[in-house]
Amino acid sequence: MKKTIYQFIFTKIFGWKVEGTFDTSIKKCVFIVVPHTSWTDFFIGVCTRAILNIEINFVGKKELFVFPLKYYFKWMGGEPLNRFTNENKVDSIARIFEAKETFRLSIAPEGTRKKVNYWKTGYYYIAHKAKVPIIPVGFDYATKTVKVFQPFYTTGVYEEDYLKLQENFKGIIGKFPEKSFTP
């Protein structure tokens, strides 16, 4: 029922569609969503995960996970992260992957909604350390299409892998084209 409602809102009211499929047997992965130019990307993501009928997670600063928002963020798939310890954040998130049976982390590698020329590297090293695939996802506002690409497994050679991952996002335009990442 929930999937049907989200699908109706997403396709009939908003006019969006999902292109590509997700292998539900993949229980652990890092979704990289590009470009991230608007706060509305959150709603596109929520609709997409409901339509695909999969659990997708995120990490947020632990200060957000306090009453009453704590319950909402947990329900939405959130995991608190302590940003003030001396612990490496990649290691912290890799440990979350180890502890969970299912954990599909969604992250915007741009790290901001502003125009960037390069992605931050955390998404890559999290996937590599946790030994999980990266699944590229494009939010193309020009065609109102969420594009789900094939899983990518890191080789450990960041520069080469980064160029291969970027190829997925050629021609994909964010809500604010001037802020969109251009490979």
Whether residue 85 has pLDDT greater than 70: no
Say if 178 falls within a structural domain: no
The answer to whether position 147 is within a domain reads yes
CA distances from 97 to 7, 39, 105, 107, 162 (A): 29, 26, 9, 14, 22
Q: Mutual orientation of helices 122-130 and 89-99 as an angle, nearest 10°? A: 40
- Is residue 144 included in any domain, yes or no? yes
Domain assignment present for residue 42? The answer is yes
Does residue 101 belong to any structural domain of this protein? yes
Q: Taking residues 137-154, what's their average pLDDT?
A: 97
Q: In percent, how much of the chain has pLDDT > 90? A: 57
Residue whose tokens read 């109706």: 8
Any domain includes 179: no
Res 60 pLDDT > 90: no
Q: Mean pLDDT across the stretch 41-66? A: 88
Q: What percent of the chain has pLDDT over 70?
A: 97
Beta bridge partners of 80: 60
Q: Which domain holds residue 60?
A: 2-171
Number of domains, the chain: 1
Secondary structure class of 59 (helix, strand, coil): strand
At residue 126, φ and ψ (nearest 5 deg) are: -65, -50
Q: 41 lies in a domain?
A: yes
Q: What is the mean pLDDT of residues 152-158?
A: 97
Residue 2 has pLDDT above 80, yes or no: no
Average pLDDT over residues 119-143: 96
Task: Tell me whether residue 182 is in a domain.
Answer: no
pTM of the model: 0.89
